[in-house]
């Protein structure tokens, strides 16, 4: 540090040479203590006032806070189990015989048997000149196989 009077470098200690005043620190801490205690007393008084002014009423009924289900659609409770049940049902449909539409004679056969029949018979060839008796399929529609008369699905 340079001494302004002599313009020489001072090699002495470089710290505060006077002591800090304790009176402002003590006054601040006392004011803070009074403020916190006053706030606690004010909160306690307001609480007592509200308790006195607001009646508590009868005790709550046991089912007052019972859980009510939200409106549909609801989230799944056990999605893994729901999925397993869904897959089991779909696999049962894929692996069994049954009617799709009894009046029109439409049935379903097990998927493995359907694939082997398709490999044996092949896909029917449709030429551009072959007239179609039905409207063209729209997106999402499926062409169903109609069972020949006299065929009954085996169980």
3-state secondary structure of 40: helix
Specify the pTM. 0.35
- pLDDT, tens digit (0-9, with 9 covering 90-100), for 113-155: 888 888 888 776 655 554 456 566 666 666 666 655 655 555 5
Instruction: Give a yes or no: residue 113 inside a domain.
Output: yes
Split into its structural domains, the chain has a count of 2
Domain enclosing residue 38, as ranges:
24-55
Quote the CA–CA distance of 62 and 50 in Å, as a whole number.
Answer: 26
Instruction: Give a yes or no: residue 114 inside a domain.
Output: yes
CB neighbour class for 99 (10 Å; exposed up to 12, middle 13-18, buried from 19): middle
- pLDDT, tens digit (0-9, with 9 covering 90-100), for 30-62: 999 999 999 999 999 999 999 888 877 777 777
Instruction: Give a yes or no: residue 45 inside a domain.
Output: yes
For tokens 């379903």, name the residue: 108
Quote the CA–CA distance of 85 and 150 in Å, as a whole number.
Answer: 35
């Amino acid at each position: 540090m340079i001494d302004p009077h002599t313009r020489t470098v001072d090699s002495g200690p470089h710290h505060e040479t006077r002591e800090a005043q304790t009176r402002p620190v003590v006054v601040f801490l006392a004011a803070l203590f009074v403020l916190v205690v006053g706030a606690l007393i004010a909160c306690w008084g307001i609480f007592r006032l509200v308790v006195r002014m607001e009646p508590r009423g009868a005790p709550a009924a046991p089912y007052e806070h019972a859980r009510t289900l939200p409106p549909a659609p609801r989230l799944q409770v056990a999605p893994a189990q729901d999925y397993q049940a869904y897959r089991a049902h779909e696999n049962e449909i894929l692996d069994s015989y049954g009617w799709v539409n009894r009046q029109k004679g439409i049935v379903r056969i097990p998927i493995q048997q359907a694939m082997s029949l398709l490999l044996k018979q092949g896909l029917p060839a449709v030429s551009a000149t072959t007239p179609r008796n039905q409207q063209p399929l729209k997106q999402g529609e499926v062409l169903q196989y109609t069972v020949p008369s006299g065929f009954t699905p085996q169980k």
